[in-house]
Amino acid sequence: MNSNQAPPEAAITDLADPSLGTIPGNRLKLAVSVSWDRISWGAWDPEQKLWLYLASERSGKLQLPGQLLDFIRTLWDKHQRLKEDYHGVTIIWEGLNHTLIPQSLFVAEEEASFLTFTNIVHSGEEIRSEVIPRGSLVLVYALPAVLRAGLEQIWPGHSLTHGISRFLRPSALDVEGRQYDVRTHIREQSFDLIIFRDGALLYCNTFEYRTSEDLLYYILFTFEQLGIPPAETEVRVTGDLFSESQIFEYLEKYIDRVTFAGPGSRVILADGLKELPYHQFCQLLNIFT
């Protein structure tokens, strides 16, 4: 079993390049990634196409939309860089409830029915959709209405996208021509599993899990159903995971090669961010490229 060199687990929660203080906030763009167990954010300079600031904090495995919104408001009160007058704000929602529909079959007026056909939509959730150019797909997903309204109060006029869509766009893929290209984005309570075969999307799903064994089982079961040989396959990992974790050890035991995804040529970090664990901030770093 082989893996690339991974950064040690560390509490890197706030990292800024010294040049950040010399650039007016209204020239920069802010990106905020929101999941049930972590909030990450960063500032990007569109003139230099350069990331200058990145930060992240765990929320403690929240379950209710109101709790998540309260945590975001606490971060906003605590971190001045979340309050700057940015040129624009983009929010990435890493929600679990979503589905993909061929664009040729999608009808906007019926988007809710596409999601309820395969998922449970809870009371108080809004249904949203966005087009994924690669593969001519439409992503339909749910977002708690109270969270949507609260985010609009904090960052009026922000743009919103779903985290899954970032992994289905060319800039986030860097497919290298092998038969199976497997990506998993891991959070503390859930993970995304995305598989391409010969450059075309084969599988995309999000699983909830409680133990490392659960996560490994879901991946190996999916491989079995799709006829993918684990002993001949590479899995590239992003998200809240480090090489010392039990999950990583389990993946290495049963899968031929497990690597942490690195930044593509379009992702440029300022010198002060070079030691950053890229895989942990992958959702943010692919948002503007």
For 228-268, the pLDDT digits (tens) are 999 889 999 998 887 678 898 999 999 989 988 877 677 88
Question: Which residue in the block uniquely carries the two structure tokens 């003139």?
Answer: 47
Average pLDDT, the chain: 88
The answer on pLDDT for 194 being more than 60 is: yes
Q: What is the pLDDT of residue 261?
A: 83
The more confidently predicted of residues 161 and 278 is 161
Q: Please write down the HEC assignment for all residues of 157-195.
A: CCEEEEHHHHHCCHHHHCCCCCCEEEEEEECCCEEEEEE
- Report pLDDT for 215: 95
Angle (CA) 87 276 237, round 5°: 100
Q: Is the dihedral angle over the CA atoms 200, 115, 187, 265 positive or is it negative?
A: positive
Domains present along the chain, CATH in parentheses: 14-97+128-170+263-285 (3.30.420.250), 175-260 (3.30.420.260)
Q: What is the DSSP letter of 282?
A: H
pLDDT of residue 176: 60
d(CA 230, CA 134): 26
Q: How far is CA 180 from CA 145, 200, 258, in A?
A: 37, 9, 13
Dump pLDDT digits (tens) for 84-118.
Answer: 999 999 999 999 999 999 999 999 999 999 998 88
- Alpha carbon 214 to its chain centroid, in Å, reads 20
Q: How far apart are CA 54 and CA 12, in angstroms?
A: 9
Give the span between the Cα atoms of 145 and 38, in whole angstroms.
19
Q: Is 260 left (phi over 0), alpha (psi -120 to 50) or beta?
A: beta
The span from the CA of 248 to the CA of 246, in Å, is 5
**Quick one: tokens of 55?**
């930060």
